[in-house]
Amino acid sequence: MDILVLMKVVPDVVEELEVGPDGKSLDTSFLRTIINERDDHALEQALLLKDKHGGKVTLLTLDAPDIDDVLFTALAKGADRAVKICGVESVQSTQTAVKLFGETIAKTPGLLPVDLILTGVSAIDDLDGLMAAPIAQQLGWAYTGVVTQVALADKTATVIKEFAGGVRGEYEVPTPAVLGIQAAEKPPRYVPVAKVRAAMKSMTIETVDAPAVEAATTVEVQQMAKPQVTGHAEMIEGSPEEVADKICELLAKRGLI
Amino acid sequence: MSTATPSADNGNGVMTLENLAKFPEGQKVYSCMQCGTCAATCPYGDDLAFPPRAIITMLEAGLIEEVFNNPGLLNCVTCYACMAKCPRGIKLTEVLLPLVKEQVFTHLKEVPAELQKALENTMRYGNPMGESPRKRALWAKSSPVPVPVIAEIKRAVDVLWFVECYPAYHPRGHDGNRATAKLFKALGIDFAILGNEEKCAGECVRMAGETGLFEMLTDANIKLMRKYKFNRIVTGGAHAYDALKHKYPAAGGDFEVHHTTPFFAQHLAQLKPKLKKKLDYTVTYHDACALGRHNGFYEEPRALLQAIPGVKLVEMNHSGVNSICCGGGGGMWLDTYYAEKGCERLSERRVKEALDTGANVLAVSCPYEISRFEDALKVAGGEKRMVVRDVVELLAEALED
């Protein structure tokens, strides 16, 4: 059972995000990128399936600062092969990323065939989750998303999808298929730095040139701004008696007592 | 492959469990007479699958893999108690345990979630809390005494103040920082901090067994500190002090280093006339493992506390070399793991003893202890009877008026 995992980076929100001078994009001077958390779960799910069924796990990413660390960490965790698409900006619109991944998968020898393509079902810059489904469509494969468990058998994958209110559904998907991973069955594993360093010495990252794709222009950003403060909590200060009086006054004013 | 004690290179390469006998301190491990003092003195002795003496037996019997494959050693909080009490003088916590813990960590099937998050955060952001490195020096804006950043003032300073993660990000750590800045000013000490460039000193990462990450942090901090000119380093972090003092030299960072408590004790003659405000506190002092048992600073904090007018110092049942670990250090991010195993939280055991003294202030010298003991006091129902203060906070309070 061979699996291809698609990973991309997103802006790291631990670092404070600033809007750039054009008022339409992020200021890149302080921007730091981090691997999309759900893609990391997709990798973990692929590794769990490899632990169970054997086979090969290949990673495909768009080049980004520090991406080699991410890829060597994945190789140290048990992935077999890492390929990065070079010559592109690290943070892409989802539509462009779809084109880049799609073209690369179709044209790079050795990436296919696989039984599954796993990727995060969404990302902080792709809340609609528009990555995995178009790639499945392009390949003519089945797609399903919001997946939290995967069991593989010959020519089928049985997946669990999560719905609101704690409802779960079980689906059978013919393979090869593209799955959008919501969460792996276990949290992504930790790999000691010593093992990452060993992977850096013994393994290599392959590179492929980005295919020429037209920038997608279906959605244009009109404006980007920080949310405006519309309300705030008021801290009532004073002695317990004073605070109690003020609370009574407020409740009375609002007609609650 | 282990590099836990690179300082031990004596021509035989780096000390590992395989070549232990080639090093004098390694050879000493084999002088163990199986008395069991290590297991008896260990605060989690009942929960260690393999206490130090059993590790030595397994090593001698060629069965050490069994120890590696058992997560029991996660209960070692690296408190130096076994080493302090070993009648053979075996450097258990310095030599044997780091080599074994590194292997146990590498062999873990699953790293406990809280520890994993702390390690990942430390790797990415340089602090275990996962805060932005760009905010590391933000606290300095709240200090009434100006706190210069060495890269900004562009000159040599006397004291390079290594702030460390908890003091940099934890609100209670900020209190200690403002106090330290005030004390530096009162003593006329020319100081500066590394600011946002500083990274975690890494000692707690090393104590958890993640030696590779420790080396990354060590290299980054040493490279950074070498860019600047200063006479000595002062840090309020007990574990940062321990790492800078004992581990950084072997990695090429041989700096003169002091911890704030002994540093201010050295300046006591100059400081004492300035401690004018009377503090009517009954204080009990908790000896931090790294400062007390590992570095012998028992008298210094007590001398400082007794120099404060009005302070009455009382001792806990276990103090000095017998002090009980707060559970931080090597166990800093394992509280949930210990709780799941049904182990008592060591900080709770400790504050119960502190409350028994009748003191109303628990004085500490390690930034972890503030939040650990404040939380433990709430659990033990003692938060109205006792407050936790760093020694520097009490000194700065006595400076006023």
CB contact under 8 A, B215 and A193: yes
**Joined tokens for residue B175:** 């209190």
Residue B6, pLDDT > 50, answer: no
Closest residue by Cα to residue B34 from B90, B96, B102: B90
Q: What is the ipTM of this complex?
A: 0.89
| DSSP code at position B43 | T
CB contact under 8 A, B215 and A192: no
Is B132 in CB contact (< 8 Å) with chain A?
yes
Under 8 Å CB-to-CB from B119, ≥6 apart: which residues? A190, B111, B128, B205, B208, B210, B213, B333
CB contact under 8 A, A193 and B130: no
With tokens 């670092």, the residue in question is: A15
B4: left (phi over 0), alpha (psi -120 to 50) or beta: alpha
Task: Reduce the DSSP state of residue B52 to 3 states and report it.
Answer: helix
Q: What pLDDT digit, counting tens, does each position of B258-312 carry?
A: 999 999 999 999 999 999 999 999 999 999 999 999 999 999 999 999 999 999 9
Residue B63, pLDDT > 90, answer: yes
**Identity of the residue in A14, A196, A197 whose CB atom sits nearest the CB atom of B132:** A14
What pLDDT is stored for residue A92 in this prediction? 76
Is A194 in CB contact (< 8 Å) with chain B?
yes
Residue B2, pLDDT > 70, answer: no
**Identity of the residue in A187, A193, A195 whose CB atom sits nearest the CB atom of B113:** A187
Q: What are phi and psi for residue A63, nearest 5 degrees?
A: -60, 145
Q: What's the rounded mean pLDDT across residues B143-153?
A: 97
Q: What's the rounded mean pLDDT across residues B189-193?
A: 98
Q: How far is CA B274 from the centre of its chain?
A: 29
* Domain edge (last residue) among B266, B291, B323: B266
Integer Cα distance of B218 and B206 in angstroms: 10
What pLDDT is stored for residue B3 in this prediction? 40
Under 8 Å CB-to-CB from B204, ≥6 apart: which residues? B128, B239, B328, B329, B330, B332, B333
Residue B7, pLDDT > 60, answer: no
CB-count burial class (<10 Å; 0-12, 13-18, 19+) for B381: exposed
**Joined tokens for residue B230:** 């200063």
Is A89 in CB contact (< 8 Å) with chain B?
no
Residues B260 and B277 in one domain: no
Residue B1 lies in a domain: no
Q: What pLDDT digit, counting tens, does each position of B331-344 carry?
A: 999 999 999 999 99
Residues B173 and B293 in one domain: no
CB contact under 8 A, A190 and B119: yes
Q: What pLDDT digit, counting tens, does each position of A119-141 carry?
A: 999 999 999 999 999 999 999 99
Residues B140 and B245 in one domain: yes
Under 8 Å CB-to-CB from B231, ≥6 apart: which residues? B157, B158, B159, B256
Q: What's the rounded mean pLDDT across residues A42-69?
A: 96
Q: What pLDDT digit, counting tens, does each position of B344-383 carry?
A: 999 999 999 999 999 999 999 999 999 999 999 999 999 9
Residue B176 lies in a domain: yes
Write the CATH number for B45. Answer: 1.10.1060
Residues B238 and B274 in one domain: no
Say how many CA atoms lie within 13 Å of B119 toward its Cβ.
25
**Joined tokens for residue B395:** 């000194």
What pLDDT is stored for residue A235 in this prediction? 87
Integer Cα distance of A74 and B216 in angstroms: 19
HEC string for B148-188:
CEHHHHCCCEEEEEECCHHHHHCHHHHHHHHHHHHHHHHCC
Residue A87, pLDDT > 60, answer: yes
- Fill in the amino acid letter for A187: P
Residue A106, pLDDT > 50, answer: yes
CB contact under 8 A, A14 and B123: no
With tokens 């704030």, the residue in question is: B260
Task: Reduce the DSSP state of residue A183 to 3 states and report it.
Answer: coil
Closest residue by Cα to residue B40 from B29, B58, B52: B52
Is A51 in CB contact (< 8 Å) with chain B?
no
Chain B residue numbers touching A197 (CB-CB < 8 A): 212
Task: Reduce the DSSP state of residue B105 to 3 states and report it.
Answer: helix
Average pLDDT across chain B, whole number = 95
**Joined tokens for residue A43:** 């990798």
Write the CATH number for B278. Answer: 3.40.50
Neighbour tally for B314: CB within 10 Å: 13
Residues B210 and B233 in one domain: yes
Q: Is the Cβ–Cβ distance between B213 and B119 less than 8 Å?
A: yes
Higher pLDDT, A255 or A7: A7
Integer Cα distance of B149 and B363 in angstroms: 29
Q: What percent of chain B stands above pLDDT 90?
A: 95
Residues B93 and B140 in one domain: no
The alpha carbon of residue B212 is apart from the nearest alpha carbon of chain A, in Å, by 5
Q: What's the rounded mean pLDDT across residues A50-62?
A: 97
Superfamily name with CATH number, domain A3-209: HUPs (3.40.50.620)
Higher pLDDT, A235 or A207: A207
Burial of A94-124, coded b for 16+ CB within 10 Å and e otherwise, reads bbbbbbbbbbbbeebeebeebbbbbbbbbbe
Q: What are phi and psi for residue B158, nearest 5 degrees?
A: -75, -55
Average pLDDT across chain A, whole number = 93
Integer Cα distance of A85 and A28 in angstroms: 21
Residue B10, pLDDT > 80, answer: no
Query: N- to C-terminal Cα distance for chain B?
Result: 58
**Joined tokens for residue B72:** 């029991």
CB < 8 Å from A in window 84-113 of B: 105-106, 110-111, 113
Q: What percent of chain B stands above pLDDT 70?
A: 97
Is B205 in CB contact (< 8 Å) with chain A?
no
What pLDDT is stored for residue A89 in this prediction? 79
Q: Is the Cβ–Cβ distance between B265 and B235 less than 8 Å?
A: no
* Separation in Å, CA A54 to CA A186, B46, B274: 18, 40, 71
Integer Cα distance of B216 and B125 in angstroms: 12
Interface mutation target, options A15, A17, A193, A201, chain B, most CBs of B under 10 Å:
A193
Residues B295 and B232 in one domain: no
Is A107 in CB contact (< 8 Å) with chain B?
no
Chain A residue numbers touching B130 (CB-CB < 8 A): 14
Integer Cα distance of A195 and B209 in angstroms: 13
Under 8 Å CB-to-CB from B294, ≥6 apart: which residues? B80, B93, B242
The alpha carbon of residue A148 is apart from the nearest alpha carbon of chain B, in Å, by 19
What pLDDT is stored for residue A214 in this prediction? 81
- Domain limits at B394? 270-399
Residues B72 and B138 in one domain: no
Residues B287 and B142 in one domain: no
* Domain edge (last residue) among B48, B81, B107: B107
Residue A162, pLDDT > 80, answer: yes
Residue B97, pLDDT > 50, answer: yes
Write the CATH number for B133. Answer: 3.40.50.1860
B282-285 and B361-364: which strand pairing? parallel
Integer Cα distance of B368 and B387 in angstroms: 15
Residue B5, pLDDT > 80, answer: no
Is B54 in CB contact (< 8 Å) with chain A?
no
* Separation in Å, CA B332 to CA A251, B50, B345: 44, 20, 11
| Residue B397 β-bridge partners | none
Q: Which H or E run includes A114? A: none
CB contact under 8 A, A16 and B119: no
CB < 8 Å from A in window 304-343 of B: none
What pLDDT is stored for residue B133 in this prediction? 96
Residue B32 lies in a domain: yes
CB contact under 8 A, A190 and B116: yes
CB contact under 8 A, A194 and B1: yes
Kindly indicate the confidence band of residue A216, based on its pLDDT and cuts at 50, 70 and 90.
Answer: low
CB < 8 Å from A in window 287-306 of B: none
Closest residue by Cα to residue A56 from A110, A102, A136, A12: A110
Higher pLDDT, A233 or B132: B132
What pLDDT is stored for residue A232 in this prediction? 83
What pLDDT is stored for residue A15 in this prediction? 85
Residue B345 lies in a domain: yes
* Separation in Å, CA B342 to CA B105, B221, B287, B336, B338: 21, 38, 26, 10, 6
Neighbour tally for B246: CB within 10 Å: 17
Domain residue ranges of chain A, discontinuous segments joined by +:
3-209
CB contact under 8 A, B120 and A196: no
Interface mutation target, options B99, B115, B123, B206, chain A, most CBs of A under 10 Å:
B123
Residues B231 and B133 in one domain: yes
- How many domains does chain B contain in total? 3
